[in-house]
Amino acid sequence: MSLLKLWFGLVLLLLSLNSIPSESAVSSIDLGSEWIKVAVVNLKPGQTPISIAINEMSKRKTPALVAFQSGTRLLGEEALGIAARYPDKVYSHLRDMLGKSYEKVKGFLEAMYLPYDVVKDSRGAVAFRVEDGDEGGNVGLYSVEELLGMILGFAGDLAEFHSKVVVKDAVVGVPAYFGQAERRGLVQAAQLAGINVLALINEHSGAALQYGIDKDFSNGSRYVVFYDMGASSTYAALVYFSAYNAKEFGKTVSVNQFQVKDVRWDPELGGQTMESRLVEYFADEFNKQVGNGVDVRKFPKAMAKLKKQVKRTKEILSANTVAPISVESLYDDRDFRSTITREKFEELCADLWDRSLVPLKEVLKHSGLDLDELYAVELIGGATRVPKLQAKLQEFLGKNELDKHLDADEAVVLGSSLHAANLSDGIKLNRKLGMVDGSSYGLVVELDGPDLLKDESTRQLLVPRMRKLPSKMFRSIIHTKDFEVSLSYEPDLLPPGVTSPVFAQYSVSGLADASEKYSSRNLSSPIKANLHFSLSRSGILSLDRADAVIEISEWVEVPKKNLTVENTTTTSPNITLETDTKNTTEESDEKLNSDGVTDNTSINVTEEPSTTEPITEKKLKRRTFRVPLKIVEKTVGPGMPLSEEYLAQAKRKLEELNEKDAERRRTAELKNTLEGYIYSTKEKLETTEEFEKISTDDERKSFIEKLDEVQEWLYTDGEDATAKEFQERLDSLKAFGDPIFFRYKELSARPTAIELARKYIGELQQIVQGWETKKPWLPKDRVDEVVSDADKLKSWLDEKEAEQKKASGFSTPVLTSEEIYSKVLNLQDKVASVNRIPKPKPKVEKPKKNKTETSGDNTNSADSTSGETPEKEKQTTDSDGSAEEKINPEGSADEKANPEPEVHDEL
């Protein structure tokens, strides 16, 4: 059966270049544990439709870091630059702390040798104590969402700087093992950054999109495993690619599609797991070298330096069998130098190699597939470059070769950009790839309240594992009291670091009041509560709506249809049951009357009519009332989302930091501009001879003194000056130097402008002569006006040039290049206006009838009517005795029926 029935309509692409406004752009963000990658979909002319946004260091990936140092916030590469010196002020691995309890995060930080100052917040999650003011200033508390929002905001800035347009919509890639708390927390972090999350996409789906977009599966379906080992985690995803036939514009076309069948992971196995083994090995070696019971692990700065060098050593071992490590002043001014072989490295990580196969084995086991049924195993993720890992995978696969067709670092972000393009409003796609991903966890709903028995009706599996995204679910219970709803994971598979399976709690109220209000009525069925759930395309489950459903049966009197006094002879009631065929379940589209109720079933009762009263009948109507119930989220614990009040306050705080960053950048730019102006100006004044022609010795000397004065201030009192002060100093220097540089510019620009103006005047004479033969219809007065203006321009140029030659080079120029170009452009506009005058259309005279024909026509006209000739058609005689035909202004009937063809000049 085609996956079309499962398909939620994702359409992906080769982009149609002419189908998007040039200013539209969307982005995708691959948010890793250590790095972020950003891709932009932008069809602005001159740019690649999908491209990687590079950072300020022209790198295609950026450290996922935020730091605070001396009251200054640093992001990305800037934060990385101080990580070794201030490890307690540079915050990393924030993605891995989302939704985790304080205790879990505290243990993680200790294992990673990250010396952050953290406290437990009101949710039981971690909060960071950050010195976000000037040195010795305020200390603020920041949640993980806030710090992560800063990194996402920086990613958005990279997208906008790259595309040169505003980019607010984004798709964010996340690990498949992310639970509800992590996903909700990430969306809130993006909200703080001012980013509209179109969707969270599982990393394996992003890779599958990139893999399948340029392939044709109409010749055969295939199973592909995507194996990804990144910095902190590993997963294996089984994806089924196929094609189906569909009608498009009357033609049968083949549409590619894929469905994620299963995904398994190890959230604590990645490149940094291997690096940790090396860190511990080299720490022990250094401790032995130093002796005296020194343990380098107790010194955060030393460990930060060691971890930085270990990362490089591991990368070298991927290409070489031996790698050195060298750390200057690791501890107490002691340098550390050593080497390690690849064999030793593999020995240190011996238990990790078998562990790395577990996700792949599990995904095959649960799918029931053999290795022979796999078409390919695609490797992605930076840690898959480790030779031993590849050898281990190859050994397990046997004859099947490992595939490396995708870019290990950029496959996810590029595939996610295709998803972003599809979800955006302004981008039309012309190649289709259906996508079906599913929930990574099985999700359960449980009801709790008075008179609710703990049975199958109150605890149900709401979302089976791998249920497609997005989906909507509906549950109904018979109940009359207010109750609570809990959402939880199936206990056999929980997200990493989660101890309690419950991730959301809601109270549902209003049902008791509705029951009391309607209980005295004639209920046709027990009162029910309908619950409406949605599983978003981001994989987030929520309770969206709850209604109380009350059905009541009532007798009502209505006029009887199709019944008169003459044919009504019944003496006893005639009861007829009428049933509405509409489906009354929640899934139907019920039409409500003006009272907000639904008529479902009616029974007609006809009574013996009176001969003087209106004929009526009684009808038993079943009416359905739907009363909205109030839903209040009561989630507690580390997975509890930030409140709206907290979000508003945090957003204001981040906006203030953004303003400070903008001011800091502006200050740095102005300082660099001022410094550059001083150096370049002094060099020109001292080395360029032409300045002697347009400035006096005293003028240059005075200017250089001013430059020296500002330069001295720049490196002393002005070291920490504000942007305003830098701007004022720059303006004061330009006020003195601009007239000099203007005269210097005119020294070469004015002769060029004069030469071009005279050349154009000479060419204009030839143009005017050509008009006499090629365009004789041009009005003589307009042509004469052009000739006159050209003569005036020539006279003015001769006069001003003579004055300029007499003037001193040290004074303001009498004639400037700008004046010359302005006058020439005005003359060019006038010449173009005359040149555009079109050739007149030739006059076409209408054929005249002779006198005999005219007379005959008039006679016939008179005979055919009253026998008299109308006054306006009578002939008149001029003084010379000749007859003249009086012409009807509107034309004769023949002329109207056969109008003369309009004549146009050929273009």
Whole-number percent of the chain with pLDDT over 70: 83
- The string of pLDDT tens digits covering residues 829-846 is 999 999 999 988 887 776
Q: How many residues would you count in the chain?
A: 907
DSSP state string for 283-313 = HHHHHHHH-TT--GGG-HHHHHHHHHHHHHH
- The string of pLDDT tens digits covering residues 595-639 is 344 444 444 444 455 455 668 887 888 888 899 999 999 999 998
- Mean pLDDT, to the nearest integer, of 404-427? 92
> Each residue of 707-728: b (16+ CB within 10 Å) or e?
beebbeebeeebeebebebbbe
The predicted structure's pLDDT at residue 897: 40
CA distance 350 to 274: 10
Query: In the chain, what's the furthest Cα-to-Cα distance?
Result: 143
CA distance 713 to 720: 11
Asked whether residue 588 carries a pLDDT value surpassing 80, the answer given is: no
Q: How confident is the model at residue 582 (pLDDT cuts 50, 70, 90)?
A: very low
Structure tokens belonging to residue 420: 């972003």
CA distance 184 to 853: 94
Asked whether residue 517 carries a pLDDT value surpassing 50, the answer given is: yes
CA distance 158 to 181: 27
- Mean pLDDT, to the nearest integer, of 342-348? 97
For residue 330, give the nearest of 366, 279, 292, 270 by alpha carbon.
279
- The string of pLDDT tens digits covering residues 267-294 is 999 999 999 999 999 999 999 999 888 9
- Mean pLDDT, to the nearest integer, of 372-401? 94
Q: How confident is the model at residue 455 (pLDDT cuts 50, 70, 90)?
A: low
The DSSP bridge pattern shows strands 483-489 and 443-448 to be antiparallel
Amino acid identity at 749: A
The CA-atom distances, in angstroms, between 223 and each of 179, 204, 245, 370 are: 26, 14, 20, 11
51 close to 63: Cβ distance less than 8 angstroms: no
Which residue's entry shows tokens 């506009």? 829
Provide the residue ranges of all domains of the chain, joining segments of one domain with +: 3-268+358-433, 271-355, 443-633, 643-844, 849-881
Q: Is the peptide bond before 450 cis (omega within 30 degrees of 0)?
A: no
What superfamily in CATH does domain 443-633 come from?
Answer: Substrate Binding Domain Of DNAk; Chain A, domain 1 (2.60.34.10)
What superfamily in CATH does domain 271-355 come from?
Answer: ATPase, substrate binding domain, subdomain 4 (3.90.640.10)
643-844 matches 271-355 in CATH topology: no
The predicted structure's pLDDT at residue 456: 58
CA distance 195 to 576: 62
CA distance 232 to 247: 45
The DSSP bridge pattern shows strands 483-489 and 502-509 to be antiparallel
- The string of pLDDT tens digits covering residues 757-794 is 999 999 999 999 999 889 999 999 999 999 999 999 99
Q: Does domain 3-268+358-433 have CATH number 3.30.420.40?
A: yes
- The string of pLDDT tens digits covering residues 104-114 is 999 999 999 99
Q: Which CATH number fits domain 643-844: 1.20.1270.10, 2.60.120.1570, 3.40.30.10, 3.40.50.510?
A: 1.20.1270.10
The predicted structure's pLDDT at residue 189: 98
Structure tokens belonging to residue 804: 């300029």
Structure tokens belonging to residue 636: 């507690």
CA distance 504 to 485: 8
The full 3-state SS of 603-635, as one line of letters, equals EEEECCCCCCCCCEEEEEEEEEEEEECEEEECC
Whole-number percent of the chain with pLDDT over 90: 68
| Bridge partners, residue 882, by sequence | none
Structure tokens belonging to residue 424: 């955006």
The predicted structure's pLDDT at residue 797: 94
Asked whether residue 12 carries a pLDDT value surpassing 90, the answer given is: no
For residue 323, give the nearest of 344, 298, 297, 296 by alpha carbon.
344
The DSSP bridge pattern shows strands 433-436 and 251-266 to be parallel
